[in-house]
Amino acid sequence: MSEIAVYKVPESVAANTFCTEGQYRDLYKQSINDPIAFWSEQKNCVDWFRDPQIIKNTSFSGEVSIKWFEDGELNVSYNCIDRHLPSRANEIALIWEGDNPAESAKVTYGELAREVNRFANVLKSLGVKKGDRVTMYMPMILETTYAMLACARIGAVHSIVFGGFSPDAVASRLDDCQSSFIITADEGLRGGRKVPLKANVDAAIVELAASTGRSVDTVLVVRRTGADIAMTKGRDVWYHDVSQDVSDHCDPEPMKAEDPLFILYTSGSTGKPKGVLHTTGGYLVWVTMTFKYIFDYKPGEVYWCSADVGWITGHSYIVYGPLSNGATSLVFEGVPNYPDASRFWNVIDNFKVNIFYTAPTAIRALMREGEDFVKATDRSSLRLLGSVGEPINPEAWNWYYTVVGEGRCPIVDTWWQTETGGVLISPLPGATPLKPGSATRPFFGVKPALVDADGNILDGATEGNLVLMDSWPGQMRTVYGDHERFIQTYFSSYKGLYFTGDGCRRDEDGYYWITGRVDDVINVSGHRMGTAEVESALVAHEDVSEAAVVGYPHDIKGQGIFAYVTCKAGVEPTDQLRSDLVKWVRKEIGPIASPDVILFAPGLPKTRSGKIMRRILRKIAENDTDSLGDTSTLADPSVVDDLIRTYRVAT
Ligand code: PRX
């Protein structure tokens, strides 16, 4: 391991940080040895209407119950807005950069307060009550943030569906959380192309009625592009109409710490996406604290996370974490390569961005375009870079560090999940020497461990499956409406431990190196996709009898989607069918689930009990057929030779 470069904390960073190496060690030790004392103090990073006395009440065994600060009361929007007003009403809360570089806006905390109060009053006037689920299918516009905070203000539970998902995906999420209120926009705009959000919502509502008989009461539509869209009388209302007469004031609802804040659907290794439920107090403490320490945020700095708000990264680190800290957070509607590959860097220059947080897939895509697009820009405002969503390969890390950050900016490689609410493993800029490709060390209160297949905890420098031994405040509380699935998914592999689904190596310095998912989840451009979801979309096609999907290494996306498809008898496996199937999956799930490769397979390798041997399919997809391992347990080993032959012909 000695050849791995280690980047020491620059003195200038250590001299101006919330947390030096020594402070990290002391605080981390306290957080593990005496969590009650630690969190009794740290909970004060948020304002409570009623100060909690019961700090931690969590169990990873039996029925699994996770409660933090349970007798406390607070309101998330109060924390993200009102508490800053005395000192920061005129400071910038949000900067919005449109898809079109000519469009942008700045919103002060005072203006944010007004907009969120108004949005909250609109929701109330349309009958939304505390505890109601509000589905949002939105572009990256300011109103999306207003709507999230407005839900939080009145105690409604938002469920955001990423704007790139299909109508079917919207319908199934509406159904799962029994939501009958949708907020959307006429259209979205990305990379100069229009996304028909309202039309998709209409299609989702038709689909919902057809599959469940359920209907939606209200569709609240924000005008973005001004497109001429269909409005259904009695159901659809324009935000600009209903907001005309509402008041600028709406009292924040006092919420119990364990009241739900939001649901966010994410893919797992089996079945339909799960509704990950996050609650109010613990989540807010977690995102507030992690944002402050990991980005080492100082008042007045401009922070930009380039994620979409439809993913957890957007929830926690565009909206809740930054705003709770009174930060200036940049909301970007566009894409990294539009109008050209300098876009990110131009935005950084225009708004003097100090902290930039993006995904390895974007870094790799921009790296491919060459250095000129970066070097044409200044970027001298940057002082810290962040990475999230998938392992960052050392080549991309080095390019990010040397070309983008000019060797000046530490990189925080943050490991976490939708389920964890916020970051669990990451460097702290003033405390942690960096190793390219490692998420380094656990955040306060996080107790990672590596286990072998039997659940034995492994010591020292080793490799295994990553588990967490105890709860942290930002942890998801349940799968919405299905606590049994929560227990099964996360706590049944290893008794008493939360299983992340990730493989991981720990080196001799105690640094963690995430190696990727060890379950049937694939990570495509930092987006999680269940192979089972893509398979069930494929077999729903009339010409398909069977399908198996695996991930394979992809230069830009990290992993690509490789689908093995067996056609029904009498169906000719043509190129036309292949492109029809890609279109079909896009329609069923959304463009992010498009298979990169479809291999028509006469048969799939199965054990005698009929289980598909994915290990073999993965090896073939990786073109690593020399180490297929033992195939003697297959019902028909000749299937493998057929597949390899088909693969060679196809590629
Ligand atoms: O495999 C890990 C990978 O992304 C998974 C979580 O995906 P999702 O819930 O969509 O959340 C993504 C954004 C937080 C993890 O199980 N992952 C996330 N961050 C990293 C990572 N893998 C390696 N390094 C990371 N920094």
pLDDT digits (tens, 9 = 90+) for 134-143: 999 999 999 9
Position 607 confidence tier, pLDDT thresholds 50, 70, 90:
confident
If residue 72 lies in a helix (H) or strand (E), which one and from where to where?
Answer: none
pLDDT average, residue stretch 318-337: 98
Grouping H, G, I as helix, E, B as strand and the rest as coil, residue 47 is coil
User: Residue 160 forms beta bridges with which residues?
Assistant: 136
Is-contact 547 566, C-beta < 8 A? yes
517 lines ligand 1 (CB under 6 A): yes
**Residue 62 CB: number of other CB atoms within 10 A?**
9
Grouping H, G, I as helix, E, B as strand and the rest as coil, residue 20 is coil
| pLDDT computed for residue 2 by the predictor | 47
- The interface predicted TM-score (ipTM) is 1.00
Choosing from 264, 390, 438 the residue with most ligand 1 atoms within 8 A of its CB, the one to mutate for a pocket test is 390
Q: For 463-518, give the DSSP string.
A: EEEEEESS--TTS--EETT-HHHHHHHHHSSSTTSEEEEEEEEE-TTS-EEEEEES
Distance, in Å, from the CA atom of 382 to the CA atom of 402, rounded to the nearest integer, reads 13
| pLDDT computed for residue 362 by the predictor | 96
pLDDT tens-digit series, residues 141-196: 999 999 999 999 999 999 999 999 999 999 999 999 999 999 999 999 999 999 99
Is-contact 363 392, C-beta < 8 A? yes
Residue nearest to atom 3 of ligand 1 (CA): 390
Grouping H, G, I as helix, E, B as strand and the rest as coil, residue 28 is helix
pLDDT tens-digit series, residues 218-264: 999 999 999 999 999 999 999 999 999 999 999 999 999 999 999 99
Of the candidates 488, 490, 507, the residue with the CA atom closest to the CA atom of residue 499: 490
The tokens for 471 are 């709860």
Of the candidates 355, 356, 397, 346, the residue with the CA atom closest to the CA atom of residue 376: 346
Residue nearest to atom 11 of ligand 1 (CA): 417
Distance, in Å, from the CA atom of 367 to the CA atom of 361, rounded to the nearest integer, reads 10
Residue nearest to atom 5 of ligand 1 (CA): 417
Interval between CA 526 and ligand 1 midpoint (Å): 7
| pLDDT computed for residue 637 by the predictor | 86
The tokens for 195 are 């996304």
| pLDDT computed for residue 633 by the predictor | 83
Q: Ligand 1, residue 528: give the atom nearest the CA.
A: 10
pLDDT tens-digit series, residues 475-500: 999 999 999 999 999 999 999 999 99
Instruction: Report whether pLDDT(620) > 70.
Output: yes
Residues contacting residue 231 through CB under 8 Å, at least 6 positions apart:
221, 237, 238
312 lines ligand 1 (CB under 6 A): yes
490 lines ligand 1 (CB under 6 A): no
pLDDT > 90: percent of the chain: 92
pLDDT average, residue stretch 599-611: 90
| pLDDT computed for residue 270 by the predictor | 81
Is-contact 150 119, C-beta < 8 A? yes
390 lines ligand 1 (CB under 6 A): yes
- Binding site residue list for CoA: 190-193, 313, 337, 525, 586
Is-contact 142 175, C-beta < 8 A? no
| pLDDT computed for residue 1 by the predictor | 45
pLDDT tens-digit series, residues 434-456: 999 999 999 999 999 999 999 99
The tokens for 389 are 């969503």
H helices of 132-280, in order, are 142-154, 167-176, 197-212, 239-242
Instruction: Report whether pLDDT(269) > 90.
Output: no
- Phi/psi for 268 (5° steps) reads -125, -170
| pLDDT computed for residue 470 by the predictor | 98
pLDDT average, residue stretch 378-391: 97
Distance, in Å, from the CA atom of 598 to the CA atom of 562, rounded to the nearest integer, reads 6
> Residue 507 to residues 463, 504, 512, 613: CA-CA distances in angstroms?
9, 10, 7, 31
Is-contact 552 622, C-beta < 8 A? yes
Interval between CA 389 and ligand 1 midpoint (Å): 4
Mean per-residue pLDDT of the chain: 96
Instruction: Report whether pLDDT(3) > 80.
Output: no
Interval between CA 21 and ligand 1 midpoint (Å): 25
User: Residue 190 forms beta bridges with which residues?
Assistant: 193
pLDDT > 70: percent of the chain: 100
- Burial (0-12, 13-18, 19+ Cβ within 10 Å), 500: buried
Instruction: Report whether pLDDT(651) > 80.
Output: no
Is-contact 589 169, C-beta < 8 A? yes
Interval between CA 230 and ligand 1 midpoint (Å): 38
413 lines ligand 1 (CB under 6 A): yes
Q: What angle do CA 362, 365, 371 make, to 5 degrees?
A: 105
Distance, in Å, from the CA atom of 541 to the CA atom of 183, rounded to the nearest integer, reads 31
User: 284-311 burial, b for 16+ CB within 10 Å, e for fewer?
Assistant: bbbbbbbbbbbbbbeeebbbbbbbbbbb
Interval between CA 501 and ligand 1 midpoint (Å): 10
Position 634 confidence tier, pLDDT thresholds 50, 70, 90:
confident
